[in-house]
Amino acid sequence: MTNAPPPQRSGATGLLLVFSITALLVGLGFDLGAGSRVRFWIGDQPAAAAAVGVAGVLFAVLASHAARLVLAARSKPHQQESSDASSHT
Amino acid sequence: MPALTLNPGFVPIIAALFILAMPRTLRSPMIVVTALAAFWLLLDHEFGAASAMAQMGLPVVLLNLDELNRIFGIALLIALIAIGIYSGARRNRYEDAAILLLAGSAVSALFVGDLISFVAALALGGLAAAWVTFASPLEGASRAGARLLIWHGLEGLLFLVGVAFHLSAGAQASVVGRLDVTSIGGAFIFAALMIRVGAPMAHVWLKDVVSHASPTGAAALSAFTTMLGVYALARLFPSEPLLVWIGGAMMVIGAFYAVAEDDLRRAAAYGVTVQTGICTALVGLGTPLALAAAEGHGFATILSFVALQLMLGAVLERHGSVLVSHLAGVGRTMPLSAILLLGCGLAVAATPGLALFASQSASLEASAQWDLRWLWALIWVTPAVMLVALLLRPSLAAYTPSGDVKPIREAPFSMLLGAGLALFLCFAVGLAPRWLFDLMPAEISFQPFVLDRVTPQFQLLGAAGVAYLGLRMVRAAPRERGVSLLDIDALYRGPLTAAGRWAGVLGLRMYGAWQSWTRRSSQSAAKSLETLANACDRPYGSSGTAAVTFVCLGAVLLVMFLVR
Amino acid sequence: MTPEIALFCVLGAPVLQALLVMLIPKPPGLRDLIHIGFSLVALGCAAYLMNAVAQHETARIVLARPLPNVDLAFAIDPLGALMAVVLTGLGVLHAVHAAGVARAKQEKAPARLLAFIALAMAGVTAVAFSANLFSLFVAYQALALAAFPLVAHRGDEEAQPAARAFLATLLASSIGLFLPAMIWTYSIAGALDFQAGGVLAGRVDPLTANVLLALYVMGIAMAAIPPMHSWLPASSNGPFPALVAIQALAVLPAGGIGVLKVATFVFGPAMRDAAIAAQVLIVLVGVGMIVAALIALSKQDIRERLAYSVMAQSLAVVMGALLALPAGLFAAALQIVALACAAATLLMAAGTTMAITGRSKVADYVGLGRVMPWTFAGFAIASASMIGMPPFAGAWAKLWLITAAAGSGLVWAAVLASIAAILTFTHLGPLAANAFAGRAPTDAFKRPDGASILLAAPVILAAAATLSLLVLADPLAVFLSPIWTPEGP
């Protein structure tokens, strides 16, 4: 973590947020109102799809945090020089 | 007419030889014409196998057309058309030839009817893929190509051994039909296909070559390699239970890396791994609906990810990098590309109206079995993860203001046209999926555009978008930094190779000791024989060899007389 | 032109070629022209003979008759005709290549080199066309004696002990093991002729069959069976044209042809009686393949590495011949063809590299493929064939070998062959890949104009030959089938 200033807000955030909220409201509306859901197991619960979407995002964020913590290569030049099976045999 | 029994895949292979001699302006049209010619050959045939020739006593069926390979063939040839249009933007004749060879061998492998030709076509495809990587101008490409050769070489050898054992069980078993994993031959072929399809432990080669290939090459490598493995699994190992677990593991591993990778082309390659995992798991399920869904999903994956790779390549060409951490300002300097990139992200995230949604719904339907509900849940959550990895992250980064004002430098027109065509076809198939379902083997009475399916998907994607953007706003989502992630190939290249070297040095020392011991003992034996020969019979000289000769002769004659 | 005349020509033309080349050593252009011209004549005669065999004609010439029922005779049969065509065809390419190398490297006494190469080709053609064990034996000795000056060509203190080891191993094993076996066979069967059903079939008890098989296989040291293999690495210090002749075109294939002829024509169905010895020998050969491939991995000089690599492939021929099924014999025949093409290409490519850049260490090959693309394309294709990668020739030979091994119940033999293939990949694959993958060296060429067409074209043409087996394998199977399906008693 460096002491760089926080990154700028992206210009597309607002637009993407609008589209996402619209999609969510459309989906929730039909789900809670007309009962159109995926008819299997947990999908049959109201707003199940939204919950699954949020769960997916949580997985994504946690995974990327974990990956960057655990699996980040030490330094790029070092990895370039690491010998692989095809060198000089 | 004999020409009509030509395997469509041979047309690009022959064209690959000619394209080496073509001038620059003709090469891109030639690729497109080749793809169209192969398309015509494909659609002109009726189902059935061409007459089998005999090759070394085995039947070689060069053309066997049915619904399974027709659907994959159409997808690959459409991809070739898009890549052909796209390739007009740069000059690299070796890469053009290599891409044609790769596409040709992939399509040939789809349509041959016996194992021997199948293995030959796959091996040729592996070599062509390495050539595509070698022809890339990027840094580190040649080493990535050499690594690919090792993976594909291993795969080819496993195939060969598997086919040999399979043949030894009965030569009539050469025509492509269902194999058994528990037999030796079947096990070897299964292992080879695991490498080809990108099973865990062997999934690293795709992301390796895609991140080092040129823009055109990356799209070709993404389309023409792993899906052949899915086709082969559907032919040879349908309803094999192992595949369900392997597919599930591929989905998890691919998703894990796709959301964290900084290099977007590499993230897209991991995305292909995720979708291939879905296809593999469905093949493992084995019901007719599952197999049909697997093929449809393969079709949609090829189209969507070719579009995405082409678009990423266009950004790479103009902007110089597709690292998410360096993508700031692209929305301003390349507006059309950024919008198309957004569109491709929608395609990959299975938005309703695009191809992947139709096949995704079919896959959900097919995997809706109670004892496999974990698989169903994984398939259901995949679009949310792909949305984050391949739409939200790139778009947010692209539209981040970069501070300085730069002029608009849009991607080359051919690139935009090729990628746009692929994206347009994703929309076309997505909005009229009946065309896709009519191509599938089983009679699928499946309607993806039912309210019960469309609105939950909107809900899912919308909720995912809101959640991610919300996390971004409270700075809980990770910042995009230039980080390179280790995968299992760091183990293969680092500690495993060092262990192999150490074992080799040890072996050399032992061999040297053995050699000097044998030399010493043979010398002393020769000397003693020499003195014996000298003592026995002086005129015959001091060569130990002569003594040995005569002793052998005498001993054999003696034995002969005794045994007689 | 009758088949008899063609047979005479194909055996006699190389001898005449050797004489003329020795008599007309200068100007070099004329000498090379004679060499290449006579090679073409030999190829033409061999092709004619192959055609004759395909038409079911027979021909037999007798040069001498020392004993009743034992004559020095040469006859045409499918196996011999096929091998002769392949080897003389590659011999033409090799003649062109040798001309190029002799020019580029200023090799000493090139006329003598070319003459003995011609004599070696005569020897292997004689082995291929031999009609009985006695002719095989005589041709074998002649070949060993003709190849000896090739090993000793340079005359320095490396060459002389190597040449002595070469000759000693080959002659000692043939006289000490092969000759007694031959005599024993004569005493059992009353004749030494090669018969399609096997001379010993039905006439020999298991103990004798086992001992005879061991004697024959060990006696044909040209097939490089351990422990008789030491001539092969010893010969790897000679000049490159000699290497090609010895390892790829004459001596090693002669060993393979000899073992194959013995297994097919002398033993035939009697191989089943000799099953114990066959299995022991297969173990020996299988382990030998793996060890040879491992040793090749440790060698840093390209000539030594290729010598051990070629040895591993030749042992695959022996393994195929020892499996008593027709599939095994077919695999062995295919492997001889594939090995000849691939080994010739590899050695010619290495010779070209040595002549143009002076490099012979594996570590120096990195990146050379970018400055010598045609030569290394041939090298890469031939490596793929040696490893057994489809769609090149070696793959189909290995396919049949593993199929035959698994089919005769010896699954462990199939496993040994597969391990050897993987090990061959480790010592040839990265070498070929790095030649293209590495950065191009800037100071590679000793001569500014690079490789002449004489040096590069044979490499590419021989590499193209390794692709041919994909389409030719079935006609070859039909062509060779009379060998293991005798028409009558």
Q: Whole-prediction pTM value?
A: 0.82
In whole angstroms, give the CA distance from residue B118 to residue B155: 13
- Other beta carbons within 10 angstroms of residue C15's beta carbon come to 18
Q: Which residues of A fall within a CB distance of 8 Å from B487?
A: 71
What does the pLDDT read at residue B542? Answer: 52
Q: Which residues are paired to C243 by β-bridges?
A: none
Interface of B with A in 473-502 (CB under 8 A): 473, 475-481, 483-487, 490, 492-494, 496-498, 500
**Alpha-helical segments (H) within C362-410:** 368-371, 373-387, 393-407
CA distance C436 to B153: 16
Q: Chain B residues with CB inside 8 Å of A71's CB?
A: 260, 485-487
Asked if pLDDT for residue B274 goes beyond 90, the answer is yes
A27·B460 Cβ contact <8 A:
yes
Among the listed residues B45, B39, B100, the one whose alpha carbon sits nearest the alpha carbon of residue B75: B39
In a 10 Å sphere around its CB, with 0-12 CB exposed, 13-18 middle and 19+ buried, how is residue C102 labelled?
buried
More confident residue, A78 or C371: C371
A7 pLDDT more than 80: no
Instruction: Check pLDDT > 60 for residue A52.
Output: yes
Residues 31 to 60 of A: which have CB under 8 A from any B CB? 31, 34, 36-43, 47-60
R_g of chain B, CA atoms, integer Å: 29
Residue C426 has its nearest CB partner, among A87, A88, A89, at: A89
Which of A11, A53, A68 lies closest to B260 in CB terms?
A68
d(C-alpha B53, C-alpha B175), whole Å: 12
Reply yes or no on whether the pLDDT at B3 is more than 60: no
pLDDT given at position B311: 93
CB contact (8 A) between residue C172 and residue B548 = yes
Predicted pLDDT at C445: 66
Quote the radius of gyration of chain C (alpha carbons, Å): 21
Write down the pLDDT at residue B4: 46
Instruction: Inform me whether the pLDDT recorded for C277 exceeds 70.
Output: yes
With an 8 Å Cβ cutoff, are A86 and C437 in contact? yes
State the best of B168, B184, B188, B208 to mutate against chain C, taking most chain C CBs within 10 Å.
B168
| Alpha-carbon B227 to chain mean position | 6
Q: Provide, as residue numbers in chain C, all residues whose Cβ is less than 8 Å from the Cβ of B169.
A: 406
Q: Scanning the structure block, which residue is given the tokens 């035939």? A: C268
Per-residue model confidence (pLDDT) at position C53: 86
Would you state the pLDDT for residue B220?
93
Inter-residue long-range contacts of B242-245, CB under 8 Å, 24+ positions, other chains counted: B242/B181, B242/B190, B242/B284, B243/B280, B243/B281, B243/B283, B243/B284, B244/B281, B244/B284, B244/B285, B244/B372, B244/B375, B245/B284
The pLDDT tens digits of the residues spanning C435-459 come to 876 677 776 666 555 667 778 888 8
C32-82 pLDDT, tens digit each: 888 899 999 999 999 988 888 888 888 888 888 887 778 888 888 888 899
- Please give the distance of CA C186 from its chain centroid, rounded to a whole number: 27
- Summarize the confidence of residues B480-507 as an average pLDDT: 77
Tokens 């309607």 — which residue?
Answer: B447
Q: What is the average pLDDT across C376-387?
A: 88
Helices marked H in B20-140: 24-44, 67-86, 93-111, 115-134
Closest Cα partner for B248 from B73, B356, B375, B426? B375
Higher-pLDDT residue of C358 and B428 is B428
Asked if residue B136 lies in contact with residue B96, where contact means CB atoms within 8 angstroms, the answer is no
* pLDDT of amino acid B410: 85
Question: Of B11-15, B29-33, B171-175, C169-173, where does mean pLDDT reach its minimum?
Answer: B171-175
What is the secondary structure of C205-253 as a DSSP string?
-HHHHHHHHHHHHHH-GGG--TTSTTHHHHGGGS-HHHHIIIIIISHHH
User: How high is the ipTM of this complex?
Assistant: 0.81
Measured between its terminal Cα atoms, the distance across chain B in Å is 67
Confidence band of A77 (pLDDT split at 50, 70, 90): very low
Please, are residues B74 and B429 in contact by the beta-carbon 8 Å criterion? no
End-to-end CA distance of chain A: give it in Å, rounded: 41
Q: Which of B483-492, C48-57, C293-302 has the lowest mean pLDDT?
A: B483-492
**Is 80 exceeded by the pLDDT of residue B248?**
yes
Which residues in chain A touch residue B455, judged by CB atoms under 8 angstroms apart? 26-27, 30-31, 36
The whole-number pLDDT of residue B515 equals 76
pLDDT (tens digit, 9 = 90+) per residue, C211-256?
888 888 888 888 888 888 888 888 887 777 777 777 778 889 999 9
Average pLDDT over residues C297-322: 89
The number of C-alpha atoms within 13 Å of B58 and in the hemisphere containing its C-beta is 29
Cα-based torsion angle of the residue sequence C71, C223, C411, C296 in order, rounded to the nearest 10 degrees? -170
Where is average pLDDT lowest: B379-393, C329-343, C398-412? C398-412
Q: Which of A20, A21, A30 to mutate to test the interface with B (most CBs of B within 10 A)?
A: A20
Residue C380 makes CB contacts below 8 A (sequence gap 6+) with: C369, C432, C433, C435, C436
d(CA C253, CA C28): 29
Pairing mode, strands C70-75 and C60-67 = antiparallel
On the question of pLDDT at B51 being above 60, the answer is no
User: Which of B459, B471, B492 has the CB atom closest to A27's CB atom?
Assistant: B459
Q: Name chain C contacts of B161, Cβ cutoff 8 Å.
A: 402, 414, 418, 421
Q: Which letter does DSSP use for residue B411 in this model?
A: P
Cβ contact, residue pair A89, C430, below 8 Å: yes
Residue numbers in B near C323 (CB within 8 A):
none
For residue A71, give how far its alpha carbon lies from the nearest alpha carbon of chain C (Å): 28
Say if residue A88's pLDDT is above 70: no
Instruction: Grade residue B537 by pLDDT with cuts at 50, 70 and 90.
Output: low
Phi/psi for B436 (5° steps) reads -70, -45
Of the spans B229-233, B445-449, C237-241, which averages the highest pLDDT?
B229-233
If you ran DSSP here, which 8-state letter would residue C193 be given? B
> Do the Cβ atoms of B354 and B346 come closer than 8 Å?
yes
Identity of the residue in A8, A40, A76 whose CB atom sits nearest the CB atom of B400:
A8
Q: What are the C-alpha distances in Å from C97 to residues B73, B217, B523, C14, C310?
A: 45, 37, 40, 17, 20
Q: What is the DSSP string of B332-369?
A: HHSHHHHHHHHHHHHHHTT-TTSHHHHHHHHHHHHT--
Retrieve residue A55's tokens. 């769960």
**pLDDT for residue B282 is more than 90:** yes
Residues C84 and C49 sit within 8 Å (Cβ to Cβ): yes
- Tell me if chain A has a CB within 8 Å of the CB of C363: yes
B88-102, B145-159, B489-503, C250-264 — which is least confidently predicted?
Answer: B489-503
The one-letter amino acid code at C61 reads I
pLDDT band at A54 (very low <50, low <70, confident <90, very high): very high
pLDDT of residue B386: 92
Query: Would you state the pLDDT for residue A81?
Result: 39
Subunit contact B465:A84, Cβ cutoff 8 A: no
Shortest CA distance from B169: residue in chain C: C407
Give the pLDDT score at B176. Answer: 64
Domain ranges of chain A: 18-71
Residue B418 has pLDDT above 70, yes or no: yes
What is the rounded average pLDDT of the residues B529-546?
Answer: 69
The span from the CA of C271 to the CA of C275, in Å, is 6
Amino acid, single-letter form, for residue B521: S
Q: pLDDT tens digit string along C175-219?
A: 989 999 988 888 888 777 777 667 777 777 888 888 888 888 888
The Cα B75–Cα B64 span in angstroms is 17
Query: What would the two tokens of residue C418 be?
Result: 């597969």
Q: Which residue has the higher pLDDT, B132 or B488?
A: B132
C67: three-class secondary structure by DSSP: strand
Any idea what the Cα angle at residue B348 is, between residues B43 and B299, rounded to 5°? 20
Distance (Å, whole) CA C414 – CA C403: 8
Interchain CB distance below 8 Å, C399 and B163: yes
Nearest CA in chain A to C294: A89
* Mean pLDDT, residues C378-397 taken together: 84
A19/B contact by beta carbon, under 8 A: yes
pLDDT category at B84 given cuts 50, 70, 90 is: very high
What's the pLDDT score for residue B269?
94
Q: How far apart are CA B474 and CA B471, in angstroms?
A: 5
Q: Please give, rounded to a whole number of angstroms, the shortest distance from the CA of C439 to a CA of chain A.
A: 13
Residue (of B229, B250, B251, B241) closest to B286 by Cα position: B241
Contacts of residue B77, defined as CB under 8 A and 6 or more positions apart, other chains included, come to B8, B35, B38, B39, B42, B107
At residue B52 the predicted structure's pLDDT band, cuts being 50, 70 and 90, is low
- Smallest CA–CA distance, residue C388 to chain B, in Å, is 7
In chain A, count of helices (H) and strands (E)? 3, 0
